[in-house]
């Protein structure tokens, strides 16, 4: 019953966001902008998304192997595609990670699989926050003024350090709390910190950063390709600063696959660089549709496994 209510609320959030979006835009202008886009102009974006999916699987392969579980790169990539597919079609937003956990449980163990998925997710989020922190001042300094730019940059910077704080804390803080929800939260945080330290070993840190780049920039470049299909001419650093904000917003488990929330966020962030609401929502929706189309191999992998 409670799960049903949660899913209904997520559907309501997506529908509410879309209602707000369509209230803000001009439908005639939306259709006029949409007619400017040629399918062939979007093919490079699809190729970049596919490359990003493969790189995500490669990164997960590195992550779970650093945690002491042997998994081939091909298996990791397949499970990443399956996770991506279910994240697109399930209203939970993290359903794909649950499916991937079940797929890996027998091979890698339940706890190790869960920890690897969690560590991979959080470290990926940390990287996106870092990119926003670095590139946001380059985009917003002249548009928002010094004080606002500093405030927003510091906000994202603090969020970045917050995600890495468990890595820096080596003392067992669980004993500071009684057997309560705080104790359990602290226990999970400490476990994540331990796992993250195993992944971020100095000897292999450069390799993980390289994998983060390979699994991050293709998605940013895909957004840039879609944007350039409208002849916007925005610099690449604008997309590097703003696209991760869309990625972060769509990963919040408050809507169906990020739909609605991503579009509303797109209108807000891209309005600061002179983009119209209509173009912003088209870019966001085309990106979302691109994710669905390029995640179809995950469905094929899943069906093949179920019929095997």
| CB-neighbour burial class of residue 28 (10 A; exposed 0-12, middle 13-18, buried 19+) | exposed
Which pLDDT value is given to residue 82? Answer: 92
Written as six digits, the tokens of 193 are 């910190």
Residue ranges of domains in the chain? 26-60+93-307
SS3 261: helix
Which pLDDT value is given to residue 169? Answer: 59
Rounded Cα–Cα distance for residues 68 and 77 (Å): 18
Written as six digits, the tokens of 16 are 């509410």
Which pLDDT value is given to residue 145? Answer: 58
Which pLDDT value is given to residue 110? Answer: 77
- Give the CB-side neighbour count of residue 278, counting CA atoms within 13 A: 14
Cβ pair 248, 129 in contact under 8 A: yes
* Per-residue pLDDT in tens (0 to 9) along the chain, 308 residues: 566 777 778 788 888 888 888 888 888 888 888 888 878 888 999 999 999 999 999 999 998 888 777 788 899 999 999 999 988 877 666 778 888 888 888 777 777 788 888 888 888 888 898 888 888 887 776 565 566 667 677 777 777 776 666 665 555 544 444 455 555 556 566 666 666 777 777 878 888 899 999 999 999 999 999 998 887 778 888 899 889 999 988 887 778 878 888 999 999 888 888 888 899 999 999 999 999 999 999 999 888 877 76
Rounded Cα–Cα distance for residues 262 and 268 (Å): 10
What are the two backbone dihedrals, phi and then psi, of residue 201, each rounded to the nearest 5 degrees? -65, 140
Cβ pair 264, 17 in contact under 8 A: yes
Q: SS3 sequence, 205-225?
A: HHHHHHHHHHHHHHHHHHHHH
Which pLDDT value is given to residue 57? Answer: 93
What are the two backbone dihedrals, phi and then psi, of residue 282, each rounded to the nearest 5 degrees? -65, -45
Written as six digits, the tokens of 219 are 């998605």
Cβ pair 196, 165 in contact under 8 A: no
Angle 296-307/73-89 helices, nearest 10 degrees? 110
In sequence order, which residues have a C-beta less than 8 Å from that of residue 78 and are 6 or more positions away? 57, 298, 301
Cβ pair 281, 264 in contact under 8 A: no
Handedness of CA 192, 198, 202, 204 (dihedral sign): negative
Rounded Cα–Cα distance for residues 261 and 252 (Å): 9
Among the listed residues 269, 261, 267, the one whose alpha carbon sits nearest the alpha carbon of residue 26: 267
SS3 105: helix
Among the listed residues 305, 290, 284, 306, the one whose alpha carbon sits nearest the alpha carbon of residue 22: 284
């Amino acid at each position: 019953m409670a799960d049903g209510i949660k899913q209904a609320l997520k559907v309501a959030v997506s529908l509410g966001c879309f209602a707000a979006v369509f209230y803000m835009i001009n439908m005639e202008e939306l259709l006029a902008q949409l007619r400017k886009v040629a399918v062939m102009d979007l093919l490079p974006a699809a190729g970049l998304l596919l490359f990003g999916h493969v790189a995500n699987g490669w990164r997960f392969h590195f992550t779970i192997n650093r945690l002491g579980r042997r998994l081939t790169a091909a298996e990791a990539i397949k499970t990443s595609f399956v996770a991506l597919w279910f994240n697109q079609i399930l209203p939970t937003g993290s359903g794909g990670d649950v499916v991937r956990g079940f797929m890996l449980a027998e091979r890698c163990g339940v706890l190790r699989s869960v920890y690897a998925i969690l560590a991979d997710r959080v470290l990926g989020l940390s990287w996106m926050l870092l990119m926003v922190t670095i590139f946001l001042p380059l985009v917003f300094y002249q548009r928002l003024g010094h004080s606002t730019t500093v405030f927003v940059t510091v906000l994202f910077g603090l969020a970045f350090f917050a995600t890495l704080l468990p890595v820096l804390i080596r003392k067992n803080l669980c004993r500071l709390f009684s057997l309560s929800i705080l104790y359990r939260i602290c226990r999970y945080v400490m476990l994540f910190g331990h796992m993250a330290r195993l992944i971020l070993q100095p000897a292999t840190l450069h390799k993980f950063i390289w994998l983060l780049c390979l699994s991050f920039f293709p998605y940013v470049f895909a957004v840039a390709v879609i944007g350039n299909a409208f002849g916007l001419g925005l610099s690449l650093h604008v997309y590097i600063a703003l696209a991760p904000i869309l990625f972060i917003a769509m990963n919040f488990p408050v809507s169906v696959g990020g739909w609605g929330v991503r579009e509303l966020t797109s209108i807000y962030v891209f309005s600061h660089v002179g983009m119209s609401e209509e173009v912003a929502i088209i870019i966001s929706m085309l990106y979302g549709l691109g994710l669905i189309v390029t995640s179809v191999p995950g469905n094929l992998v899943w069906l093949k496994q179920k019929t095997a």
